[in-house]
Amino acid sequence: MENIRYDLITALPEIVILSMAMIILLADLFLKQTNRIAIYALAQLALLVAAFITFSTHTPSIGYGFTGAFVDDTLADVLKLMIYLGTSLIFIYTRQYIQLRNMFRGEFYALVLFSVVGMMIMVSGQSMLTLYIGLELLSLSLYALVALDRDNARATEAAMKYFVLGALASGMLLYGMSMIYGMTGSLNITEINNALMGGENIHSVLILGLVFVVAGLAFKLGAVPFQMWVPDVYEGSPTAMTMLISSVPKLAAFAFIIRLLVQGLPTLAVDWQQMLMIMAVLSIIIGNVTAIAQTNLKRMLAYSTISHVGFVLFGLMSASINGYASALFYIASYVLMTLAGFGIILLLSRKGFEAEQLDDLKGLNQRSPWIAFLMLIVMFSMAGVPPTLGFYAKFTVLQAALQAGYLWLVVFAVLMAVIGAFYYLRVIKLMYFDEPIDQHPIQAPFDMRVTLSVNACALLVLGLMPQGLMSLCGYAIFKSLN
């Protein structure tokens, strides 16, 4: 009985979010269109309650629930709080957008909350089975969200591409996990590590399983050569869904890599380090070079995402506490940058018009100097220009790679970052030096404008004072991996 009580307390935030998603689905049946703002309020309340529970029950010690399949540690708590914050911002930014496109329904908020539960399970997964269940819950929710606008042919096509390629990646991941299970005799991450530590040599089947696992994870992150879905899905999805796909799920994917590769397969670190290194180099090259040729804003940001994933992999391939902490710092910074960037795109969209092309940003400074300034901060941060947060994010992962002995890779990454700065600076040029094509006034709810301003300015403030976020990331990694 005591074990059941502890299990329920450990998974209480997940239970709260899951319960509220079901309540929202039921409440939506009885609410009139004019009263559906209550659904939005319930979704935000669920995130607030879950955040309070996660924060108030935090302890530095590591606890295990559900017979070791679920872990409650500092890394899990920090990542969950980041997921709550990111999802709350998504709800604020997308409210007007989905209202104008007749998607302001219970299904949207329920599916987003279901995806949050999937991310939380991935963050706390201590068994390959738990990790996979969380991943599939997240993936299926995202597939449904992309196709939520049923009258949008592009969204339906994007959802089909995402679903087919996602199913293929899940199959590869599951196949790799089955090989690891076959060679170690356990699904539990800790037991897998112990089994490999006790082994005298590593069987080739285990390496093959590792290849399939890394391939599946690379797809979920959007790393080359498994990035083919990213630009098509980003461009075809409604902008609200693109914002979700491009941001907080990256935190869960990072947790998945830490749990499975770092905690479960440290014995094979030499092998997965080499795989991550190849993917990092290719991602930075293809992401930055291909983004230069794009005229669609969402497609450009998709290739930008691929490049950013390459930098995250730089931290992970360092295979050190400092490297993992720098990768977490980069992911957290990237999520803030992406939310602000897509928030501005949503702000510029209106009924019957999507701000998708680079030309839609022309003369933005003449239409709204403040919004143009916020976009300038976001672009500088993504390009890694000091003193923005993006500069310190790049600096920390490259420093970790340098400490691990990858000097030539660091030099290469710096050169590619300079090349990549071109397409970010092009956006600034369009906003400040071109004549506006669109003269419509920019209208948005007050809470969206305030939140967006705080979000974008935080990139500048955290860039000037990055120590707090750096310390938090370092603390989470140190407490959970030591």
Give per-residue pLDDT as tens, 293-316: 888 888 999 999 999 999 999 988
- Please state, for a pLDDT cut of 70, what percent of the chain lies above it: 98
What pLDDT, on the 0 to 100 scale, is given for residue 303? 92
Distance set, CA 94 to CA 65, 109, 126, 349, 450 (Å): 35, 11, 33, 11, 14
Environment class of 480 (CB within 10 Å of its CB; exposed 0-12, middle 13-18, buried 19+):
buried
CA–CA separation, 276 vs 7, rounded Å? Answer: 35
Interval 255-268 mean pLDDT: 89
CA–CA separation, 375 vs 221, rounded Å? Answer: 25
CA–CA separation, 104 vs 96, rounded Å? Answer: 9
pLDDT band at 72 (very low <50, low <70, confident <90, very high): confident
pLDDT band at 106 (very low <50, low <70, confident <90, very high): confident
CA–CA separation, 140 vs 315, rounded Å? Answer: 29
Q: Comparing 134 with 357, which gets the higher pLDDT?
A: 134
Average pLDDT, the chain: 88
Instruction: Write down the H helix ranges in 101-127.
Output: 106-124
What pLDDT, on the 0 to 100 scale, is given for residue 264? 85
317-332 burial: b if 16+ Cβ within 10 Å, else e? bbbbebbbbbbbbbbb
CA–CA separation, 307 vs 34, rounded Å? Answer: 43
Q: Are 315 and 396 in contact, with CB atoms under 8 Å apart?
A: yes
For tokens 């790393």, name the residue.
Answer: 223
What pLDDT, on the 0 to 100 scale, is given for residue 42? 92
Work out whether the CA dihedral 325, 328, 334, 339 comes out positive or negative: negative
For the record, the structure tokens of 348 come out as 């510029």
Kindly tell me if the per-residue pLDDT of 154 is higher than 90: no
CA–CA separation, 281 vs 293, rounded Å? Answer: 20
Environment class of 107 (CB within 10 Å of its CB; exposed 0-12, middle 13-18, buried 19+):
middle
38: helix, strand or coil: helix
Q: Comparing 116 with 30, which gets the higher pLDDT?
A: 116
What pLDDT, on the 0 to 100 scale, is given for residue 251? 92
Q: pLDDT (tens digit, 9 = 90+) per residue, 164-217?
A: 888 888 999 999 999 988 888 888 888 888 888 876 556 788 888 899 999 988
Environment class of 340 (CB within 10 Å of its CB; exposed 0-12, middle 13-18, buried 19+):
buried
Kindly tell me if the per-residue pLDDT of 48 is higher than 90: yes
pLDDT band at 2 (very low <50, low <70, confident <90, very high): low
Where do the domains of the chain lie?
A: 2-481
CA–CA separation, 295 vs 244, rounded Å? Answer: 22
What pLDDT, on the 0 to 100 scale, is given for residue 133? 92
CA–CA separation, 456 vs 466, rounded Å? Answer: 15
What pLDDT, on the 0 to 100 scale, is given for residue 479? 85
What pLDDT, on the 0 to 100 scale, is given for residue 51? 93
Q: Are 98 and 108 in contact, with CB atoms under 8 Å apart?
A: yes
pLDDT band at 78 (very low <50, low <70, confident <90, very high): very high
DSSP 209-225: HHHHHHHHHHHHHT-TT
pLDDT band at 83 (very low <50, low <70, confident <90, very high): very high
CA dihedral 274, 251, 456, 110 (to 10 degrees): 150
Q: pLDDT (tens digit, 9 = 90+) per residue, 370-429?
A: 898 999 999 999 988 888 898 999 999 999 889 888 888 889 999 988 888 888 999 899
pLDDT band at 1 (very low <50, low <70, confident <90, very high): low
What is the reported pTM?
Answer: 0.93
Nearest to 124 by CA among 217, 9, 239: 9
For the record, the structure tokens of 189 come out as 């991450």
- Please state, for a pLDDT cut of 90, what percent of the chain lies above it: 37
Q: pLDDT (tens digit, 9 = 90+) per residue, 231-252?
A: 888 988 888 899 999 999 999 9
Q: Are 166 and 230 in contact, with CB atoms under 8 Å apart?
A: no
DSSP 316-363: HHT-SHHHHHHHHHHHHHHHHHHHHHHHHHHHH-BTTB---BGGGGTT
Interval 330-341 mean pLDDT: 92
CA dihedral 40, 42, 47, 53 (to 10 degrees): 170
Within 10 angstroms of residue 232's Cβ, the number of other Cβ atoms is 17
Residue type, 58: H
Extended beta strands in 163-310, E state: none
Q: pLDDT (tens digit, 9 = 90+) per residue, 440-465?
A: 777 778 888 899 999 999 999 998 88
Distance set, CA 113 to CA 19, 191, 195, 444 (Å): 10, 31, 36, 24
